[in-house]
Amino acid sequence: MRVTLLGTGIMGAGMARNLVAAGHELRAWNRTRERAEGLGATVCETPAEAVEGAEVVITMLADGPAVEAATEGLALDGVTWVQMSTVGVDETERLARGDFVDAPVLGSRPQAEAGGLTILASGPFERCRPVLEAVGRVVDLGPEPGAGTRMKLVLNLWVLALVEGLAETVLLAERLGLDPQGFLDIVDGGPMGPPYAALKGANMVERRYEANFPLRLARKDADLIAAAGGDLPLARLVSERMATAIAGGHGDEDFSAVVEAGR
């Protein structure tokens, strides 16, 4: 299919390579042009140029304002717009127009590069299923856009709460004079130790935060969850802890750097 990808950052770059590898004709735009080059796509100077002649337009950008800015004034009649950024419930409702597919994803850089994202698809996505399957596994959440975004927020709260709990556990071990790696070794492989704990726990123990999912974007998601969920004190607490770590200079590092809020 003729596909346009708006946004070739941490997630979009891997998606672009997999779309090209699957045989789709890809045009790409990114605010920083250099990040769109070398991916196998035709690089365009503007979003309007990129969407010309497209059958499917994908947005994979940092947040709602970035999506609004990139799509403002675009003629999307007769085009399937697949909105894959995490923008929250209210923003999804504002953006929806035409053949709008709400399809945020689970996964980070490694999954995007491997074509292993989980796509939470809602809306009229069957026409573009071959495009979605080039970047990951499709979960059908029904015909009405919005269900994908709501499920993404539910899943993100689980992940963000897990990482904050892990961070505090590592900090407790350190404050009690223990090697936190010992805790990770004890729970590894058992019912108390999900694989994600080993992955993010290693980052925290080694103080190595290569950004698969930047902390500043994780905090954005925590705020979206708090706005959508009403009285959810844990989501607000996670946002506050992330804000502290961001103020300490860790905003562009992996969100496991939230542990630095307590060091």
pLDDT tens digits along 191-237 = 999 999 999 999 999 999 999 999 999 999 999 999 999 999 999 99
Domains and CATH numbers, the chain: 2-141 (3.40.50.720), 150-262 (1.10.1040.10)
Angle in degrees, 0-180, between the axes of helices 215-229 and 147-175, rounded to the nearest 10: 120
Beta-carbon contacts of 165 under 8 Å, excluding residues fewer than 6 positions away, are none
Q: Give yes or no: 152 in active site.
A: yes
Cα(84)–Cα(61) distance, integer angstroms: 8
User: Order of strands, edge to edge, in the sheet holding 117-121?
Assistant: 105-106, 117-121, 136-140
Cα(154)–Cα(239) distance, integer angstroms: 15
Strand partners, 120: 139
Task: Out of 17, 24, 27, 152, pick the active-site residue.
Answer: 152
Q: Kindly give the confidence (pLDDT) of every residue in the chain, 263 residues in length, as a single tens digit, with 9 standing for 90 and above.
A: 999 999 999 999 999 999 999 999 999 999 999 999 999 999 999 999 999 999 999 999 999 999 999 999 998 999 999 999 999 999 999 999 999 999 999 999 999 999 999 999 999 999 999 999 999 999 999 999 999 999 999 999 999 999 999 999 999 999 999 999 999 999 999 999 999 999 999 999 999 999 999 999 999 999 999 999 999 999 999 999 999 999 999 999 999 999 999 99
Query: Which stretches within 176-214 are classed as H helix?
Result: 180-187, 195-206
Mean pLDDT of the chain: 97
Of 81, 6, 11, 77, which is closest to residue 45 (Cα–Cα)?
A: 6
User: Among all chains, which residue has been given the structure tokens 């980052």?
Assistant: 203
